[in-house]
Amino acid sequence: MKPLLIACVGRALTAAPLGRREDDVEVRRVPVLPRAGGLDPSRPTVVLLDRTLLASTGDERRVLDELAAIAALIGWGDHDEDAPGSDFPADLLTSFIPGTASAGAAMTALRGAFRHAAALVAARNARIAENERYHELTELTRVGVALSTERDLLTLLDMILSQARRLTSSDAGSVYLVERGEDHEPTTLTFKLSQNHSLPNLPFSEFTVPVDHTSLAGYAAATGEPLVIPDVYLLPDDSSFKQNRSFDDKFGYRTKSMLVIPMKSHRDEIVGVLQLINRKRNPETRLGGPDKVQWEVISFDQRSVELVTALASQAAVAIENSLLYEDIERLFEGFVTAAVTAIESRDPTTHGHSSRVATMSVNLAEAVDRGGGGPYAALRFSRAQLRELRYAGLLHDFGKVGVREQVLVKEKKLYPPDLALIEHRFALLIQSAELDFERTRAAHLLRCGRDRYDETVRALEAKLRARRVQLERYRQAILRANEPSILAEGSFSELARLARERYVDQNGDEQPLLTDRELRFLSITRGNLDDAERKEIESHVTHTFRFLQQIPWTRELRGIPAIAYGHHEKLNGEGYPRRIAAPEIPVQTRMMTIADIYDALTASDRPYKRAVSVTSALDILHAESREGLLDRDLLATFVEARVYESAHAA
């Protein structure tokens, strides 16, 4: 671009060469002084400022200040003027040409002014470059911070590609991740993500390419070097890599300029490949056809390579961290699964309970997040908090590993060996009755012979039948009493009568039909556990808390022990084990409590109780909320959002 000299119309300019050739400088004649906004600031410009042009400013100093910022101003005196008058802005002038100046003096002043004008352009370009570098550095820093906080891999890759495209004004791009073999060496690249500004709704499917020299992405991964290609349709014939044009042919796209950057970790290992397509003059332009591509698409320059390389380094670290985080999450998920399996292997009757409670608790939290009522209208849960609640739900019963198995899996009020002993006792009593029958019949024969034998036998048989009926009635009463109940019900007066019954054992000693221990268990009025067993079962909450406290949770998951600890507490302070009240019970725990009770009521795999219907279970929950045991607002959301249905879908 030629330098520009601006002078007033009608004013003679001494013919003086300003460059090597007379046309090295463009001379423009103007009737009024141009404004700074009308000039190209990237072009060296000199203004010959005489009184005519000066007068056209209307004494607006601001006009001259703005003009002097982008152009060199030379004062041009009248014919008889040797120095600038007071009306000239002497502080803004580069030099002054007297009206009688010789051609040599004028040429010297003009050349000095053009050097000043070139310096102004250079300074402006330096400021622009500095601002651009500052902006780029700021952007890279901002992107680096964003990348370091994002843990979801797909979100992370989308962020990386979006930022790379934005920094380079690329129309499209894609990301590949390295897959490694057993020797940890790269084997293939998996196509994980693509973006296209001109074709935003493209279908996506993963595929792999080998890490070798046959493809652009494979070449960059294999060599660790970037590829800068002005036009992928014009690759040299001896090039080992080729561009697959099937995408362009299928969707009517024209891939032209391309930048392929390997993403390297701090250990200089290839993590993936970042591929950018069609750098544009205007980032917002959509490439609608070949002509548009031909005009709009430009090559990636060295600065683009530097920027994307810097971004790729940050991206590689972020991707490695994300993959490591995923590995840790999978490892922890495996640990949690193993823990739940351990619980359920000791108590198979509760199979699936922990998972259902976790699912309902999270679904209830999500329902509250979408718009809970009452005091929870503004409550919101982050993804990390939902994960924390899920793990607390999965592990809330882990402390059952510290409960004796016979108590944990107890189905009836009596333990199986105790019931077997009673059954054996009744069998013995029947045998005793039968033996007594035979002895009495034999004694009659010895004493009386056949005299009235048949009549006696009939009487003995009637007595034996009555005894059998009586013993069976006693036995059935015991079996009925042995069945657990959800609520206190039934009378145990018959059991008390049985306990007063006596029989003679094999040693000839008199024994009670029911021992005190057996009577105590059979007289349990609620469920199937006595007070000592119930306390042992209840201790699982404390065992859970102590176990979970031993785990070095991350900052996001450190609330798990406290959430799980309170799932049997009640808002009125009548729960266990700590008997804490509403202010001390976290909202996540309140959610879990509702889910835990609902599942315990409706679960069909509990042999010690009958499953109740959904309606009955909800009625019981509402009754407990009215009594101040459960959170009424959370229960309302639980019912309105039909969260309970997720238990039956699990």
Same domain, 560 and 478: no
The pLDDT, as a whole number, for residue 607 is 56
* Short-list 124, 305, 285, CA closest to 197: 285
The CA dihedral of 544, 547, 549, 550, to the nearest 10 degrees, is -170
Is 238 among the domain residues?
yes
Same domain, 250 and 166: yes
Same domain, 301 and 171: yes
pTM above 0.85, yes or no: no
Q: CATH number, domain at 597? A: 1.10.3210.10
φ and ψ of 255, to 5 deg: -80, 125
Same domain, 305 and 191: yes
Question: For 281-362, where are the E strands, in sequence order?
Answer: 297-298
Q: d(Cα 28, Cα 16) in Å, to the nearest integer? A: 15
State the 10-residue block means of pLDDT for the chain, 650 residues long: 87 56 80 90 91 82 90 87 84 88 84 91 83 69 67 82 89 91 84 92 87 92 93 88 85 92 86 93 88 91 87 81 80 85 77 90 93 83 92 91 82 90 91 90 87 88 92 89 64 77 84 88 84 87 92 90 95 93 95 94 70 90 94 94 81
The pLDDT, as a whole number, for residue 489 is 47
Same domain, 204 and 255: yes
The pLDDT, as a whole number, for residue 339 is 84
Same domain, 204 and 312: yes
Domain boundary among 289, 324, 359: 324
Is 545 among the domain residues?
yes
Burial of 36 (0-12, 13-18, 19+ CB in 10 A): middle
The residue with tokens 């548009």 is 292
Same domain, 105 and 15: yes
Q: d(Cα 67, Cα 36) in Å, to the nearest integer? A: 5
The pLDDT, as a whole number, for residue 147 is 66
Same domain, 187 and 107: no
Is 329 among the domain residues?
no
Is 589 among the domain residues?
yes
The pLDDT, as a whole number, for residue 18 is 57
Question: For 85-226, where are the E strands, in sequence order?
Answer: 93-97, 170-180, 186-196, 208-210
Same domain, 445 and 512: yes
Domain boundary among 292, 324, 356: 324
Domain boundary among 110, 126, 142: 126
User: How many structural domains does the chain have?
Assistant: 4
Q: CATH number, domain at 304? A: 3.30.450.40
The pLDDT, as a whole number, for residue 17 is 46
Same domain, 285 and 159: yes
Query: For residue 599, what are the domain limits?
Result: 347-405+533-649
Same domain, 274 and 394: no
* Short-list 300, 282, 301, CA closest to 292: 282
